[in-house]
Structures are given as structure tokens and as C-alpha cells.
């Protein structure tokens, strides 16, 4: 569906360019229209969660509870301005990966990584977190919504290596019970460790 929409947009731009421009400049017009489309990218579908950044003091607690160190690969699913992977790289020497559905967030995260001089340690991509390969992660951070966490839970349990830490800001995972719950002011941080396959409490048989 996503690629059909994208193709339709590109086809519309091409058609407009070819139909309304003089023949001699059709190719340039098509190129220009595609360039404008790329410049004004909007999310490929509506985000499941709006952008609300995690406060810095909560970021610190999340990375501490995730026991992040230089050997870790920290994935933030719905990475916003990139602050979790960037802090993990800057402060702990970890590698970081972020995926966000909103291209403007991805651009901002890449700029922030440059500013923090960790662009070689972090990668930000535009995409749907549900379609993202997460198998490389050793720590996963989340600031989503209860329903999105619940929809994501089977993917986390199926694709992450046993022993991977999952750290969620404010929202739990239903009957997959956290091993730690820490209050940070009015915020809550939950921590799980991915068990051997099929061993999570609440794991559907
Ligand atoms: C509440 S913000 C959290 C940002 C960042 N993780 C933080 O803690 O500061 C949620 C982010 O998820 C992104 N998002 C929502 N639905 C998504 C999806 N299906 N795939 C990827 N990103 C998504 C939004 O664009 C937004 O930037």
C-alpha cells in the first residue's frame, strides 16, 4: 500500500510535469517536481504516536536501567530527534540506531548527531518501526503508547535476542511483567529482559 501510494505520487508528479511543460523541458520539469516532492516529504502514513521528546533526565535513567555500555547497540523505535541513540553514543560509546516514520524527525536526528559528533556511531532511517529489522539490537528504547507497545510486543519477543533489554518510557506491556519499574518525577520507566523464546509472562502460546 505504502509503495503504491509513493508510486502514485511520483506518477502524478511525472504526469503533471510531462503534460504541462514544453516538450523540450519535460525531463527537467519531472526532475524538478520529484525534487520538490522529496523536499516536502511527509510521513508515508500517519504516525502511531505524535512526537513528544523524552526529557533529558528520563533519557539518563532509561540508558542507566538499560545498562548501556560501549558494546551495546541501542535501537530507539520511533526515534524523534534522536536523543536516546545520540546520548547512548556520546555518553557510553554505544552504537545507536533510530527509525522514525516522519522524515523531518529523521533529518533533525541526523543534524543532532552531527552536532554531537557521533554521526559515525549512530544511524537514523525513515521507516515504520513495525517493518524494521531489530535483530541486531542489544537494548531497545520506546516512548510510544500502551496500544502500540502491545502491538509491538510479539515482534520484540520473536525477533530480539534473548538477553536484550527493553526500556519503555511511561507505558508497560500488559501482562509481560517488567523486572524494574522506576519513577522519575511524574514519569515511569519500565525494564524487561527478553527471555528465551516463549518464556515471557503473558506470552501467547
Ligand atoms: C513520543 S515520540 C518519542 C521520540 C523519542 N523516542 C524520545 O523518546 O524522545 C514518538 C515518535 O515515534 C514516531 N512514530 C510514530 N509512529 C511510528 C511508526 N509506526 N514507525 C516509526 N516511527 C513512528 C513519531 O514520529 C515520533 O517521533
C-alpha cell of residue 199 = 518464556
d(C-alpha 58, C-alpha 185), whole Å? 9
**Per-residue pLDDT tens over the stretch 163-196:** 999 999 999 999 999 999 999 999 999 999 999 8
**Per-residue pLDDT tens over the stretch 13-38:** 333 333 323 333 333 433 343 333 34
**Per-residue pLDDT tens over the stretch 119-156:** 999 999 999 999 999 999 999 999 999 999 999 999 99
Probe ligand 1: pick from 1, 44, 51, max atoms within 8 Å of CB? Answer: 51
What predicted TM-score, i.e. pTM, was given to this entire model? Answer: 0.81
Probe ligand 1: pick from 51, 78, 85, 142, max atoms within 8 Å of CB? Answer: 78
**DSSP per-residue letters across the chain:** -HHHHHHHHHHHHHHHHHHHS-GGGHHHHHHHHHHHHHHT---SS--SS---PPPHHHHHHHHHHTT--TT-EEEEES-TTSHHHHHHHHHH--EEEEEES-HHHHHHHHHHHHHTT-TTTEEEEES-GGGS--TT-SEEEE---HHHHHHHHHHHHHHSPTT-EEEEES---TTS--SEEEEETTEEEEEEE--STT-STT---
Neighbours of 172 (CB within 10 A): 16
In this model, does residue 113 exceed pLDDT 70?
yes
Q: Which residue, 173, 182, 147, is CA-closest to 58?
A: 182
Ligand 1 pocket, CB under 6 A: 47-49, 51-54, 76, 78-80, 83-84, 99-102, 105, 128-130, 143, 169
pLDDT at residue 45, rounded to an integer = 83
| Mean pLDDT value across residues 6-10 | 39
Amino acid at each position: 500500500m505504502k509503495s503504491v501510494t509513493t508510486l502514485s505520487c511520483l506518477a502524478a508528479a511525472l504526469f503533471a510535469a510531462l503534460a504541462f511543460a514544453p516538450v523540450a523541458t519535460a525531463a527537467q520539469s519531472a526532475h524538478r517536481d520529484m525534487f520538490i516532492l522529496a523536499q516536502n516529504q511527509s510521513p508515508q502514513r500517519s504516525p502511531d504516536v505524535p512526537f513528544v521528546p523524552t526529557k533529558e533526565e528520563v533519557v539518563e535513567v532509561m540508558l542507566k536501567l538499560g545498562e548501556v555500555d560501549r558494546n551495546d547497540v541501542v535501537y530507539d523505535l520511533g526515534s524523534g530527534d534522536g536523543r536516546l541513540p545520540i546520548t547512548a553514543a556520546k555518553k557510553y560509546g554505544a552504537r545507536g540506531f533510530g527509525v522514525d516514520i516522519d522524515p523531518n524527525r529523521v533529518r533533525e536526528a541526523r543534524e543532532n548527531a552531527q552536532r554531537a559528533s557521533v554521526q559515525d556511531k549512530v544511524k537514523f532511517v525513515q521507516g515504520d518501526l513495525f517493518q524494521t529489522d531489530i535483530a541486531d539490537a542489544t537494548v531497545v528504547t520506546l516512548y510510544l503508547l500502551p496500544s502500540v507497545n502491545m502491538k509491538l510486543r510479539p515482534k520484540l519477543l520473536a525477533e530480539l535476542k534473548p538477553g536484550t533489554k527493553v526500556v519503555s518510557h511511561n507505558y508497560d506491556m500488559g501482562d509481560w511483567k517488567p523486572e524494574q519499574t522506576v519513577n522519575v518525577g511524574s514519569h515511569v520507566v519500565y525494564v524487561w529482559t527478553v527471555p528465551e523464546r516463549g518464556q515471557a509472562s503473558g506470552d501467547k502460546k
